[in-house]
Amino acid sequence: MSSVTLDEKDKEILRMLMDDAKVSAKDISVKIDSPITTVYSRIKRLEDSKVIRGYKPILDAGKLGRPTTAFIFVSFTYRPPGMDKDLDQREVAKRVGRFPEVQEVHIITGDWDFLIKVKEKDVNAVGKFVVDKLRTVPGISKTLTIMVFDPVKESMDVPLEP
């Protein structure tokens, strides 16, 4: 995966879109002092190069009945007992990512193999997810669940400075 070279106008466009993805091209063109057609072509180039992967609303999980956040460390076993061939770690991670409670799945280094972020209605629902869903996935051998007391900062923004 190669990085894309951005100039200051590209970065300003990205900052404005991270702040409000519904900002108009006209407002961007005024702010960066460029013609609106240039703004459109820059945004199109950023989309085509996958710097901008999409546009989504940021939902308030608490207002939607899922105020509880948990991070779950997972140990992975390539060949669980009774299986005659190795499992693919990436495929297991993708399978875990299909559960609706799961917001993020990361393959990580260290004593654990995956880090999973889950949003649920309460601690009991997190426990039910871990016991009834996550631990039934072949290849998942051990979990450690960390409950979040106070999510001080949650962001999808990416720093644009070196």
Domains and CATH numbers, the chain: 8-48 (1.10.10), 68-147 (3.30.70.920)
Calculate the average pLDDT of the chain: 95
Q: Please, which residues have CB within 8 angstroms of residue 17's CB and are 6 or more apart in sequence?
A: 23, 43, 52
Contact 89, 113 (CB under 8 A): yes
pLDDT of the residue at 27: 97
Tokens of 87: 């499992």
Model confidence, pTM: 0.87
Are residues 153 and 116 in contact, defined by beta-carbon separation less than 8 angstroms?
A: no
pLDDT for residue 81: 81
Element (H, E) at 117: strand 114-120
What are 115's strand-pairing partners? 73, 106
Return the SS3 of 46: helix
Instruction: Name the nearest CA neighbour of 76 among 115, 117, 114.
Output: 114
Which residues of the chain carry a pLDDT beneath 70?
1, 162
